[in-house]
Amino acid sequence: MVTLILLVILLVAAVYFIMLYNGLVSLKHNVSKAWANIDILLKQRHDELPKLVETCKQYMQYEQETLEKVMQARSQVAHARESQNMGALGAAEGSLRGLLGNLFAVAEAYPELKANENFQHLQGRITGLENAISDRREFYNDSVNLNNVRIEQFPDVIVARLFNFQPADLLEFDASELTDVNVKHLFNN
């Protein structure tokens, strides 16, 4: 009888251990999936920006500096994305979002550009991508938070340490991206 009770206890402990392990694996893969979703959207935006800049170049010969800054920021985002450096990505994202706002504000001074169907399509597409990226960043950070909390909670911490589960980095942003946009300033540049 004692042997049967010990076997049942061992079986329950093994099942519980397996459930903890599988839960941690699921969280780890949710973080990876959330990052992959952001990565796809960043790549799409990365591919769309040169088209937008080229369309703008046709009209905005005097605004070359703004266009060059957008392309430099695009390059910084791409580099941070490829290296999966969350700190650099957050900073580069903030810079690019601000420069896109400047670009769209500068475009207001060019009625022919604003009326251009290609520009309107690209502007709408990039704005949609920005909104989707924002939503995915929130989902990514939620996934990272769940993962990080679980690998520190008892009894999950035992399984996490045993199988070397690592915390993930949150995707954090520059303080400038968290403040309100000064629209008047954008139209004066």
CATH code, 7:
1.20.1440.20
DSSP state of 181: P
Give the pLDDT score at 143.
94
* Torsion of Cα atoms, 22 then 23 then 28 then 33, to 10°: 100
19 CB burial (10 A radius; 0-12, 13-18, 19+): exposed
Where in the sequence is the domain holding 85, given as residue range(s)?
Answer: 2-188
Q: Which residue has the higher pLDDT, 37 or 172?
A: 37
Total tally of structural domains belonging to the chain: 1
Phi, psi (deg, nearest 5) at residue 117: -60, -40
**Least confident piece of the model among 15-19, 37-41, 88-92, 155-159:** 88-92
Q: Tell me the whole-structure pTM to 2 decimals.
A: 0.67
Residue 69 to residue 89: CA distance in whole angstroms: 16
Residues with Cβ within 8 Å of residue 155, at least 6 apart in sequence: 20
Give the pLDDT score at 188.
46
Residue 43 to residue 38: CA distance in whole angstroms: 9
- SS3 percent helix, strand, coil of the chain, rounded to 5, is 85, 0, 15
Dig out the tokens for 64 from the structure: 């070359």
Sequence letter at residue 102: N
Mean pLDDT of the 86-108 span: 81
CA distances from 52 to 78, 91, 103, 142, 161 (A): 17, 22, 10, 32, 48
Give the pLDDT score at 176.
52
